[in-house]
Structure 1
Amino acid sequence: MSVGEADPKGLIRESYRIDAITEAECRSIFVDWALSLPVGVDAQDAIRTVLLAYEGATDHPMSVVLAQGLTREGGTPARRGGWRGRRV
């Protein structure tokens, strides 16, 4: 996967260019980035690709957020809302 495919809107690239960006701001950008990934793109692969592209910036808050994104456990939510949650 190329960096262009992993970061189609350039959100991650721009976050690395912002001086004095905070981890909270990086989390917000990360959510926007994750929602903008094209259908069929594996988010874990995209995170790995972007981390490799910016491996020299290990102390950057976005690198921390991306690394946390890799360690998060996926899975099915424990509770479902709406009619599915009330269905027996």
Structure 2
Amino acid sequence: MAKGDALDPKGLIEESYKIDGIVAPECRSIFLDWAMSYQGEHAYGIAALLVRHSNEAADHPMTVTLRAGLETPQPGTRRGGRRARVPD
């Protein structure tokens, strides 16, 4: 995997798998940086990265982070005005 290819423009994901003792917060930060620099469809890119790094441990923090990136976020509920300040 070449550093700076179309799938991993800065080689961030590749490097994260090489860092001994990397933890989830660091992986999330690296993932955010990747997401901001990736020019394609994010879901496709994440899925392709998971395939590329499928030989890595399933519980590696970056693998867990990438899998979480594929999950559909639940829509939040916003309560504005008086309803936000006064309990039901």
TM-score by length of structure 1 reads: 0.74
Q: How does 1:76-87 map to 2 (within 5 A)?
A: none
Q: CA deviation at 1:71?
A: 0.8
- The gaps in structure 1 that reach 5 residues or longer are 80-88
Match of 1:26 in 2: 27
Q: Match for residue 84 of structure 2? A: none
Q: Which residue of 1 aligns with 2:48?
A: 49
1:67 and 1:5 map into 2 onto residues whose CA distance is 20
Secondary structure of 1:5's aligned partner:
coil
Q: CA deviation at 1:6?
A: 1.4
- Residue 4 of structure 1: how far off its partner (Å): 2.5
Render the CA deviation track for 1:7-49: whole Å, top value 9, x for unaligned.
Answer: 11100000000000000100000000000112xx100000000
**Aligned structure 1 segments of 4 or more residues deviating by more than 2 angstroms:** 72-75
Over alpha carbons, which structure has the higher Rg?
2
- Which ranges in structure 2 are unaligned for 5 or more consecutive residues? 79-88
Give the Cα–Cα distance (whole angstroms) in 2 for the partners of residues 56 and 74 of structure 1: 30
Count, aligned residues: 74
Q: Going by fraction, where is helix more abundant, 1 or 2?
A: 1
Higher RCO by CA contacts (8 Å cutoff, separation 6 or greater): 1
User: What is the CA RMSD across the aligned residues, in angstroms?
Assistant: 2.1
